[in-house]
């Protein structure tokens, strides 16, 4: 892997919008007993449905550890490339690389520092060594030139780009003491601009209530296309999310994007009934020392904004809630050119995230240095060199 000493913005690279064409999608086969109850039995079924829906229109690479790779190969179709690679958990959005491209079709990777959503301050588990190495291992295995951003803590779920210089983030996450406490807000902005090619950072105050990632933006607001977003919403003034989304809406109504255009905002309802941990689910978890635990009745950060855009589809979480169909209608209207794939996602949200959190798109590129072919390999892929 070639680790570059220059910066993406200086080289003309930027983070494209997720609605732009992809070369593929990275996922990680679930296994962590503190995230996925009962040996990830139901979670794996949900992962299969999501991977196969994405595979209808783009390549899917499923990373799996040695003890689970046979399970992945047995449950997934031959359309999915299953690759041996170590990880601590299955959140590909946050532990995988962020990809940037230039106007000539070159694609490169950004390797951020990962500290389990807060490190020693409020991280969700005590040992994240394998997750911290995953982005570099993937970029090395597939031959992508890499920008080293390991001085800066960032997860992929904490950023959204319109591909034209506008980056969405939340203050609750990026200003968390567990991320980059020595940096000012202005200095954090500068890092985002340098490594994502951003020209303007939009700071939303909040994410989704009870989101244990310190409120990632990908759970509350996402670009439909440049200048147009969906925002998680509730009209229930008794719900804590009401004031949070109201504050986010105020920012979006007052701000403009990097081109000076005002935002079109589509209000996307959250589930009408809070999605909470059930006692029968709780008994299926096995938590390690230092790992964040769950409580009976704990409210989970369920949101329909946590969808994945494939080349031909919108893979949308469903919760068995009366607002499920409304979310599908709104997203169908936002993406008339794409097929809507409703996926029952309760077995993912119990892990703490959802469909967008377990996926990481690889933007379409005409040029990158091709690495080793990893399909079907039983050799552990290399880590940092």
Residue 148 phi/psi, 5-degree rounding, is: -85, 110
Domain membership of residue 52 (yes or no) is yes
Confidence of residue 380 (pLDDT cuts 50, 70, 90): very low
Q: Render pLDDT for 56-113 as a digit per residue (tens, 0 to 9).
A: 999 999 999 999 999 999 999 999 999 999 999 999 999 999 999 999 999 999 999 9
C-alpha closest to that of 4 among 87, 93, 103, 100: 100
Domain membership of residue 368 (yes or no) is no
Domain membership of residue 374 (yes or no) is no
Report pLDDT for 372: 42
Stated length of the chain: 385
Q: Render pLDDT for 177-198 as a digit per residue (tens, 0 to 9).
A: 999 999 999 999 999 999 999 9
Confidence of residue 368 (pLDDT cuts 50, 70, 90): low
Q: Kindly give, in sequence order, each residue whose CB lies less than 8 Å from that of residue 61, ignoring residues fewer than 6 positions away.
A: 24, 25, 26, 27, 80, 81, 83
Q: How far apart are CA 97 and CA 143, in angstroms?
A: 13
Domain membership of residue 127 (yes or no) is yes
Confidence of residue 2 (pLDDT cuts 50, 70, 90): confident
Contact 24, 362 (CB under 8 A): yes
Confidence of residue 369 (pLDDT cuts 50, 70, 90): low
Domain membership of residue 230 (yes or no) is yes
Report pLDDT for 216: 98
- What tokens were used for 217? 């933006």
Q: Render pLDDT for 268-286 as a digit per residue (tens, 0 to 9).
A: 999 999 999 999 999 999 9
What CATH number is associated with residue 195?
A: 3.75.10.10
Domain membership of residue 97 (yes or no) is yes
Domain range for 168 is 3-363
Confidence of residue 1 (pLDDT cuts 50, 70, 90): low
Domain membership of residue 373 (yes or no) is no
| Cα–Cα–Cα angle for 339, 342, 347, rounded to 5 degrees | 145
Q: Kindly give, in sequence order, each residue whose CB lies less than 8 Å from that of residue 130, ignoring residues fewer than 6 positions away.
A: 86, 87, 88
Domain membership of residue 372 (yes or no) is no
pTM, rounded to two decimals:
0.94
Residues with catalytic function: 357
Q: How far apart are CA 362 and CA 359, in angstroms?
A: 10
The count of structural domains within the chain is 1
């Amino acid at each position: 892997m070639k680790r570059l000493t220059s910066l993406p913005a200086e080289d003309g690279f930027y983070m494209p919008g997720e609605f732009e064409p992809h070369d593929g999608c990275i996922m990680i086969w679930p296994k962590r007993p503190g995230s996925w109850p009962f040996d990830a039995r139901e979670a794996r079924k949900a992962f299969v449905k999501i991977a196969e829906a994405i595979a209808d229109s783009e390549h899917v690479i499923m990373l799996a550890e040695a003890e689970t790779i046979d399970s992945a190969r047995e449950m997934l179709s031959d359309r999915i490339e299953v690759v041996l690679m170590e990880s601590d958990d299955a959140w590909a959005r946050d532990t995988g690389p962020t990809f940037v491209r230039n106007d000539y079709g070159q694609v490169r990777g950004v390797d951020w520092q990962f500290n389990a959503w807060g490190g020693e301050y409020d991280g969700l588990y005590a040992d994240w060594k394998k997750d911290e190495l995953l982005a570099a291992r993937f970029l090395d295995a597939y031959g992508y030139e890499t920008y080293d951003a390991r001085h800066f803590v960032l997860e992929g779920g904490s950023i959204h780009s319109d591909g034209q210089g506008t980056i969405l983030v939340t203050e609750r996450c990026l200003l968390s003491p567990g991320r980059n406490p020595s940096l000012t807000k202005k200095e954090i902005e500068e890092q985002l601009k340098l490594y994502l090619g951003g020209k303007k950072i939009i700071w939303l105050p909040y994410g989704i209530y009870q989101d244990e990632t310190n409120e990632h933006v990908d759970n509350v607001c996402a670009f439909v296309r440049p200048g147009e977003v969906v925002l998680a919403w509730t009209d229930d003034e008794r719900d804590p999310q009401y004031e949070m989304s109201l504050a986010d809406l105020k920012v979006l109504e007052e701000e403009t994007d990097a081109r000076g255009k005002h935002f079109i905002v589509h209000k996307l309802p959250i589930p009408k009934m809070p999605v909470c941990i059930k006692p029968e689910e709780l008994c299926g978890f096995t938590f390690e020392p230092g790992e964040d635990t769950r409580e009976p009745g704990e409210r989970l950060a369920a949101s329909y904004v946590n969808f994945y855009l494939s080349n031909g589809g919108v893979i949308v979480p469903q919760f068995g809630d009366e607002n499920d169909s409304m979310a599908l209608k709104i997203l169908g209207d936002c993406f008339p050119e794409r097929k809507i794939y409703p996926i029952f996602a309760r077995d993912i949200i119990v892990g703490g995230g959802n469909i967008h959190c377990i996926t990481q798109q690889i933007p379409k590129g005409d040029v990158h240095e091709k690495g080793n072919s990893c399909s079907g390999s039983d050799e552990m892929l290399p880590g940092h060199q």
